[in-house]
Structure 1
Amino acid sequence: MLARELLAKGDTVHGLVRRDGQRTDLATQGIHAVVGDLTDLSVTELADAFGNADAVVFTAGSNGGSAQTMKAIDGDGVTLAIEATRHAGIQRLALVSVLPESWRERDLDDEVEYYFTVKKQADVALSRSDLDWLILRPSLLTEDPGVGTVSLGPAEFHGQIPRADVAATLAELLHEPHVNRRILELNTGTTPIEDAVKANARASDGRAHVEQGDARSPGKQ
């Protein structure tokens, strides 16, 4: 879905897939894909797969499963992507994470709790890197058709959102350089996606001005 959104914006899209059949299918859509297993690739091999991209987007996920699988993909996979992005000389890395379940009175099993833990550790690792990073935390994903409106900001309620709206939002964010080094949460809402992204871009500009002002304030005693 994200690839289609980016292609519609005139971008060149590369991808990493696990099976040759997937690569063939993507090629018919104008997407150049490399076949490989994220858990087996070295930093150099993954960096080579990035080519001369302007940005890297990490959307891989274990979708639960064993603790070993979650750690390998949702945890170590992100660490590998950070190192490979840096090795390739690319600055921008966007990570699709998860909006943690906010209903803490609900009894979540150990597997779900571990999943949230690994995801949070990956968020922390990226946010502490020197890259031009962006972390998007969507709420529960559904296969429903996209509606084109969302609620996007630094803190959102946990609900559910169509995958298509997540892809459309991420595509808009990738084309908005002023939204960087931020964690944004995403849920179904009433604001058109383009407007929601622009609002966060304006907020980012305001934050940058405040930070610059704070940096000068000690000299104005």
Structure 2
Amino acid sequence: MARVAIIGAHGKIGQQLMRELYDNGDDFVGVARGEEHAEDIFRLGGEGVMLDLERTDATTLADAIRGCDAMVFTAGAGPDSGVERKRTVDYGASVLSIEAAKAAGIRRFVQVSAAGVDTPADAGRGEQWVAYVEAKRDADAALRESGLDWTILRPTALTNDEGTGRVEIAPAVEHGSIPRADVAAAVVAVLENEGTIGEQWELTGGSTPVSEAIASLIA
């Protein structure tokens, strides 16, 4: 049984991840911004910690997650947020979480990013999109350079469809879509397989069971 710290636990992927961990028999500490969100985490079987990632520091976050075996960063500012919050949440909160993981003695760190962010963003999609792509790209670079036991998962377009348990995972995949539930299942599978440390993959909907798809990449 593992104890996992989830940064962004009340987000849509975070909620799916909590259900996956609960079904898997794992404990989790969910970090969320509001008291109501923390109560929702408790109802899903975990420990809720109320912290605003834009207004806290690494020491406070480390104290809240100390004793966990792994950290999953799946926080994001959301599609309706402005350029500034893309930087403070999608990038800044990730760097804060890396610092907190180190301070708490947590070496395992899985980050949910986005497919294609190493390619220059299409400015025609607007400044918010450019800021989002740059924030995710820079957060991934910071994690790769952190010295932690990292894995980066970069899903294509996310949907709220029911999970299929089947995916395509590779260093790069064709543009497509994937249910958030399947991203959460991939996070759990990655956490269970030390062979995924130091790997960065894109994932999208596919025909291969999650665990098999991951095993095929590290065989």
- Please name the residue that 2:116 is paired with: 100
Corresponding letter in the other structure for 1:144? D
The Cα RMSD (Å) is: 1.8
1-side partners of 2:120 and 2:143: how far apart? 26
- Please name the residue that 1:182 is paired with: 199
For residue 129 of structure 1, the aligned residue among 138, 146, 156 is: 146
1-side partners of 2:62 and 2:105: how far apart? 9
* Equivalences for residues 144-159 of structure 1 within 5 A: 144-159=161-176
- Is it true that 1:53 corresponds to 2:37 in the alignment? no
Give yes or no for contact 1:176–1:201 (8 Å, CA) kept in 2.
no
Corresponding letter in the other structure for 1:84? A
Equivalent residues, number: 202
- 1:60 CA displacement: 0.4
Corresponding letter in the other structure for 1:136? L
* 1:82-122 Cα shifts (integer Å, max 9, x gaps): 11100111101111001127898894222212210111011
- 1:49 CA displacement: 1.4
- Please name the residue that 1:214 is paired with: none
* Equivalences for residues 154-169 of structure 1 within 5 A: 154-169=171-186
1-side partners of 2:58 and 2:87: how far apart? 17
Give yes or no for contact 2:33–2:52 (8 Å, CA) kept in 1.
yes
Give yes or no for contact 1:62–1:73 (8 Å, CA) kept in 2.
yes
Corresponding letter in the other structure for 1:199? S
Structure with bigger gyration radius: 1
For residue 105 of structure 2, the aligned residue among 64, 89, 94 is: 89
Give yes or no for contact 1:155–1:185 (8 Å, CA) kept in 2.
yes
The percentage of counterpart residues that share the same residue type is 37
Give yes or no for contact 1:142–1:160 (8 Å, CA) kept in 2.
yes
2-side partners of 1:90 and 1:127: how far apart? 15
For residue 10 of structure 1, the aligned residue among 22, 25, 40 is: 25
Give yes or no for contact 2:151–2:200 (8 Å, CA) kept in 1.
yes
SS, match of residue 39 in structure 1: coil
* 1:42-64 Cα shifts (integer Å, max 9, x gaps): 11111111121110000000124
2-side partners of 1:10 and 1:187: how far apart? 26
SS, match of residue 195 in structure 2: coil
TM-score by length of 1: 0.86
SS, match of residue 90 in structure 1: coil
